[in-house]
């Protein structure tokens, strides 16, 4: 499954179109009470098309037919919105299902290996997967090491290393081993695997209404009932005045008043919100989790990997006694010329930044010595016979001593100083002489400060967790601009912080990947596990980030907020629209009996029937016009809640009052040509 930015393919649209008709089934329609009322209205006007005087009406037949068609369109538009939102998920699910098909597993049984279909595997079975084969189910590597292509799940094509033991032992069914061979213990029964859950999630099969959606739906049903009372009692009031109310006109009034705009788009907004999270390569286990993420008060972030790059960037050169800083830097650069590790590159960057010279030609023709776990050093053997090394301080010391070199007296003190400040020292040596140290320092990722500022404006507190000593932690915290930090933190500290914040009534989000993060992930209101993490972490979390990028939590929060905002904005818009619709329909209804009602016809609509049809047409076409907004979500930029409310009220509240006045008038101009 590749990341698709635009999922609106013609195929999906065509499928959604078909689906819109299927959804006309009253049994399905009933789930959406607002649109169900429209459907009943549609059925009544449909009846009136064939028997215009079924209720003693005097409305022309063409009016009944037109009303019926507009109501049908209103229903189809709403269904189309929902089907379109669902369709995007379905398309994704289909591509996932293809991945799932027909995997043969090499099951370890009775000392031998037997080929069985993957669907027969149960929890606790062992399988062997070799290079080029698909992993038949979710599991844990118990033997061996292999690189695995997880692009089927994550869309990321670079293979990842999976090995037995530790935090990189979990493998996902449907991913492909590209080198070596591993033995895997299966940890999920068929139907419960990650892929299965993912399919059912994106398919929306198990979609349940979220708490906020339920609350909003209640309000919409309440409003619908109120308008039902208004419209049902109206003919009795009119009758006292000897004014006859026509059934299709009453239905038109009712349909215009009830919140069809938001009613028709509500479920699409929810599905699209989930979908946006998925597009973002984050898999939310429930819509509730996405909604909750919009409410987060506190985010707990690991320092390493999330806020900083890790202990990897060269920040200064510390010369050993008897050497100058330029010398230490010079040899550090030479040793790094062909070193493609982040550390190596950061040395050259630092040289450039500080304007220190080095002669790259010196390394020409030399032999690069790669970093190895046994040697813990890397470097280059120059053509002139000299060997340059950089690496862990004790490893370099040993190497120098073995060549009869002396260790400068201040080396240990300097390296201890670097370590105390939270950095990592690398020693640089040429043959028997140690020139100095490279101070590798944690570096805050670019843009983090701005992000934390944004979050502060959103009212979210950030807490950084780190194993560093308080001094280092404080430095990084200040540099990154987080609100609070926990130094020398142990996994149980995270739970303690989460509980403390929750006791104050706050909602807490965190990211994690290790098995020891699992309890904290479960305790947090929004726990995002990295896909690279352990099975335990993934199971405890309510979201999984397929790209394993811990800082994504910030975007997820924004999506959660956007979801609620879209609902609020369209509800406000929908209700605000009613003002103009009243001014279109009410004068039209009574104009014949009470000519003075013309005073209320402030839009100067052409005739009573054209006024009613125009309001009804506006009511219908506003739904498809707003589908893109429902899918995309209203624009969200972090700002204070007061300003945000002011802005949205202006656009969707005031705009919602004005837009239909303009829209209905324009439609009326068009409609009167036909009447």
Contact between 257 and 227 (Cβ < 8 Å) = yes
Q: Which of 38, 249, 328, 460 forms a contact with other proteins (CB under 8 A)?
A: 460
Rg of the chain (C-alpha set): 33
Q: Which of 417, 586, 658, 675 forms a contact with other proteins (CB under 8 A)?
A: 586
Q: Which of 124, 165, 166, 459 forms a contact with other proteins (CB under 8 A)?
A: 459
Q: What phi, psi does 443 have (nearest 5°)?
A: -120, 130
| Stretch 223-242 residues interacting with other proteins (CB under 8 A) | 225-227, 229-230, 232-234, 236-241
- Residue 509-538 contact track with other proteins, rule CB under 8 A, x = bound: ------------------------------
Mark the segment that binds other proteins (CB under 8 A) among 174-182, 214-222, 395-403, 419-427. 214-222
**Residue 504 interacting with other proteins (CB under 8 A):** yes
Contact between 259 and 571 (Cβ < 8 Å) = yes
**C-beta of 149 vs 291, nearer to other proteins:** 291
**C-beta of 231 vs 528, nearer to other proteins:** 231
CA distances from 466 to 271, 472, 511, 530, 634 (A): 37, 9, 13, 18, 36
**Residue 596 interacting with other proteins (CB under 8 A):** yes
Residues tagged active-site: 302
| Stretch 192-211 residues interacting with other proteins (CB under 8 A) | 211
CA angle 179, 181, 183 (to 5 degrees): 145
**Residue 575 interacting with other proteins (CB under 8 A):** yes
Dihedral sign, Cα of residue 234, residue 236, residue 240, residue 241: positive
Q: What phi, psi does 411 have (nearest 5°)?
A: -60, -45
Contact between 659 and 578 (Cβ < 8 Å) = no
The least CB distance from residue 449 to other proteins, in Å, is 18
Tell the residue number behind the tokens 């189809």, with chain if given: 76
Other CB atoms within 10 Å distance of the CB of residue 180: 16
Contact between 403 and 438 (Cβ < 8 Å) = no
Encode 523-553: b = buried (16+ Cβ within 10 Å), e = exposed: bbbbbbbbbbbbbbbbbbbbbbbbbbbbbbb
**Residue 506 interacting with other proteins (CB under 8 A):** yes
The least CB distance from residue 144 to other proteins, in Å, is 47
| Stretch 269-308 residues interacting with other proteins (CB under 8 A) | 291, 294-295, 297
**Residue 608 interacting with other proteins (CB under 8 A):** no
Q: Which conformational region is residue 289 in: left (phi greater than 0), alpha (psi within -120 to 50 degrees), or beta?
A: alpha
| Stretch 382-441 residues interacting with other proteins (CB under 8 A) | none
The least CB distance from residue 473 to other proteins, in Å, is 24
**C-beta of 191 vs 595, nearer to other proteins:** 595
| Stretch 250-269 residues interacting with other proteins (CB under 8 A) | 257
Collapse the DSSP code of 641 into the 3-class scheme (helix H, G, I; strand E, B; otherwise coil) and give the result: helix
**Residue 674 interacting with other proteins (CB under 8 A):** no
Q: Which of 125, 578, 606, 668 forms a contact with other proteins (CB under 8 A)?
A: 578
The least CB distance from residue 268 to other proteins, in Å, is 16
| Stretch 643-662 residues interacting with other proteins (CB under 8 A) | 644-646, 648-649, 652-653
Helix axes 247-257, 33-50, angle to 10 degrees: 160
Q: Which residues pair with 543 in a beta bridge?
A: 284, 528
**C-beta of 46 vs 234, nearer to other proteins:** 234
Count of residues engaged in binding other proteins, rule: CB under 8 A? 72
The least CB distance from residue 251 to other proteins, in Å, is 15
**C-beta of 185 vs 461, nearer to other proteins:** 461
Of 619, 543, 538, 540, residue with least CA distance to 578: 619
């Amino acid at each position: 499954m590749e990341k698709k930015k635009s999922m609106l393919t013609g195929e999906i649209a065509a499928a959604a179109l078909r689906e819109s008709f299927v959804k006309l089934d009253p049994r399905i329609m009933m789930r959406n009470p607002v649109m169900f009322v429209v459907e009943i209205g549609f059925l009544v006007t449909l009846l009136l098309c064939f028997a215009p005087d079924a209720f003693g009406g005097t409305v022309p037949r063409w009016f009944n037919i037109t009303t019926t068609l507009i109501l049908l369109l209103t229903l189809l538009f709403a269904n189309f919105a929902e089907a379109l939102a669902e369709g995007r998920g379905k398309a994704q699910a289909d591509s996932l299902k293809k991945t799932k098909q027909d995997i043969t597993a090499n099951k370890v049984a009775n000392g031998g290996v037997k080929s069985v279909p993957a669907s027969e595997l149960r929890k606790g079975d062992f399988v062997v997967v070799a290079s080029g084969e698909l992993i038949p189910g979710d599991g844990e590597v118990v033997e061996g090491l292999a690189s695995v292509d997880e692009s089927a799940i994550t869309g990321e094509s670079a293979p990842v290393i999976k090995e037995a033991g530790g935090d990189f032992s979990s493998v996902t069914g449907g991913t492909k081993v590209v080198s070596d061979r591993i033995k895997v213990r299966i940890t999920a029964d068929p139907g419960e695997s990650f892929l299965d859950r993912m399919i059912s999630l994106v398919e929306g099969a198990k979609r349940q209404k979220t708490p906020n959606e339920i609350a909003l739906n209640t309000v919409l049903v309440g409003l619908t009932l109120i308008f039902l009372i208004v419209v049902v009692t109206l003919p009795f009031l009119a009758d006292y005045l000897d004014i006859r109310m026509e059934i299709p006109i009453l239905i038109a009034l009712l349909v215009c008043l009830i919140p069809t705009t938001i009613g028709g788009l509500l479920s699409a907004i929810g599905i699209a919100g989930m979908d946006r999270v998925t597009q973002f390569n984050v898999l939310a286990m429930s819509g509730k989790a996405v909604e909750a993420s919009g409410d987060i008060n506190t985010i707990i972030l690991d320092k390493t990997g999330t806020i900083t790059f890790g202990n990897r960037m060269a920040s200064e050169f510390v010369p050993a006694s008897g050497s100058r800083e330029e010398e230490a830097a010079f040899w550090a650069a030479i040793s790094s010329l062909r070193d493609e590790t982040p550390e190596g590159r950061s040395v050259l960057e630092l040289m450039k930044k500080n304007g220190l010279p080095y002669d790259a030609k010196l390394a020409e023709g030399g032999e690069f010595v790669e970093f190895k776990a046994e040697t813990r050093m890397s470097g280059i053997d120059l053509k002139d016979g000299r060997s340059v090394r950089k690496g862990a301080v004790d490893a370099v010391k040993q190497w120098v001593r073995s060549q009869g070199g002396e260790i400068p007296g201040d080396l240990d003190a300097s390296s201890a100083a670097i370590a105390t400040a939270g950095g990592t020292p690398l020693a640089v040596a040429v043959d028997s002489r140690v020139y100095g140290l490279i101070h590798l320092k944690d570096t805050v990722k670019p843009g983090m400060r701005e992000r934390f500022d944004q979050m502060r404006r959103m009212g979210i507190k950030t807490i950084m967790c780190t194993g560093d000593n308080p001094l280092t932690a404080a430095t990084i915290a200040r540099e990154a601009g987080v609100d609070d930090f926990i130094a020398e933190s142990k996994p149980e500290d995270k739970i303690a912080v989460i509980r403390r914040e929750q006791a104050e009534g706050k909602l807490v989000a965190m990211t994690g990947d290790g098995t020891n993060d699992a309890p904290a992930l479960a305790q947090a209101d929004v726990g995002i596990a990295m896909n690279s993490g352990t099975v335990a972490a993934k199971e405890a979390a309510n979201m999984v980030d397929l790209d394993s990028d811990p800082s994504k939590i910030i975007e997820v929060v924004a999506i959660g907020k956007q979801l609620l905002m879209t609902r609020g904005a369209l509800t406000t818009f929908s209700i605000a629209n009613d003002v103009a619709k009243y001014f279109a329909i009410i004068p039209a209804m009574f104009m014949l009996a009470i000519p003075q009602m013309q005073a209320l016809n402030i839009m100067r609509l052409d005739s009573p029937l054209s006024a009613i049809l125009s309001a009804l047409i506006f009511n219908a076409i506003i739904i498809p016009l707003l589908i893109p907004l429902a899918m995309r979500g209203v624009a969200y930029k972090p700002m204070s809640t007061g300003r945000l409310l002011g802005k949205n009220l202006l656009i969707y509240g005031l705009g919602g009052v004005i837009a239909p006045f303009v829209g209905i008038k324009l439609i009326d101009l068009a409609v009167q040509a036909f009447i």
